[in-house]
Amino acid sequence: MKAKKTKRVAQHPAADHEHASCKALGQVLDRIGDKWTVMVVGGLSKGPLRFNALLRLIGGVSHRMLTLTLRGLEHDGLVKRTVYPSVPAKVEYELTDVGRSLIKPLSALSEWVQTNQRSIESARALSRGGTEKEIESAGAPAHQVTPTRASRARSRAGAVRNL
């Protein structure tokens, strides 16, 4: 039996590089976009902390999740773990230079969220088919929110029923 030959499409080297860059960006965003990573970076932005101090500062994170988050950040070079020889062992976590370079972009993202949260919540309420009251309580007045295709279809359906 003969094997079929498949025709390979040659890709442009720039496209391969762009794909690799997007993949690398996705992997980094998976790490830094994680809820607990943002909280850990925020907590460590003020200086080194021991594990239990960080656990108390963040609040709501389990012991295991904080351990996994710190290990991942250490693996990626964003956090440095220092063990001091004592009984019991003293362990501190601090941001590396790369980790500290993440503070400014995360702060900018935080400001963006604070500025746009009400609009986002309004859009979500509108896309769920929320009432005008729900949309206004989510943020912006309903008349300021651009209707989605689904909400326009619901309006047309309601108009047809009212004929």
Clarify whether residues 86 and 19 are in a common domain.
Answer: yes
**Residue 2 covered by a domain:** no
Torsion of CA 80, 68, 61, 39, to 10 degrees: 40
Spatial separation of the C-alpha atoms in residues 37 and 69, rounded to whole Å: 6
Write out pLDDT tens, residues 58-95: 999 999 999 999 999 999 999 999 999 998 889 999 99
**What residue type is 24 in one-letter code?**
A
Q: Is residue 17 classed exposed, middle or buried when 0-12, 13-18 and 19+ CB atoms within 10 A define those classes?
A: exposed
| Residue 125 burial class via C-beta count within 10 angstroms: exposed 0-12, middle 13-18, buried 19 and up | buried
pLDDT band of 124, cuts 50, 70, 90? confident
Same-domain status, 74 and 110: no
Across residues 137-152, what is the average pLDDT? 51
Domain with 48, as residue range(s), is 13-96
Q: Are 109 and 141 members of one domain? A: yes
Q: Residue 162: its pLDDT value, please? A: 34
At residue 10, the pLDDT reads 55
Q: Is residue 39 located within the same domain as residue 75?
A: yes
Give the CA angle between residues 61, 63, 68 to the nearest 5°: 90
Domains held by the chain: number? 2
Peptide bond into 88 cis (omega under 30): yes
Domain CATH code at residue 71: 1.10.10.10
Model confidence at 151, in pLDDT bands (50, 70, 90)?
very low
Q: What is the DSSP string of 63-88?
A: HHHHHHHHHHHHHTTSEEEEEE-SSS
Q: Is residue 79 part of a domain?
A: yes
Global pTM reads 0.65
Q: How confident is the model at residue 154 (pLDDT cuts 50, 70, 90)?
A: very low
Say yes or no: 137 and 118 in one domain.
Answer: yes
Judgement on whether residues 17 and 67 belong to the same structural domain of the protein: yes
pLDDT at 149: 47
Q: Which residues lie across from 94 on neighbouring strands?
A: 80
**Sequence-ordered list of residues with C-beta below 8 angstroms from that of 111, at least 6 positions apart, any chain:** none
Mean pLDDT along residues 148-158: 43
Give 30 or 93, the one with higher predicted confidence. Answer: 93
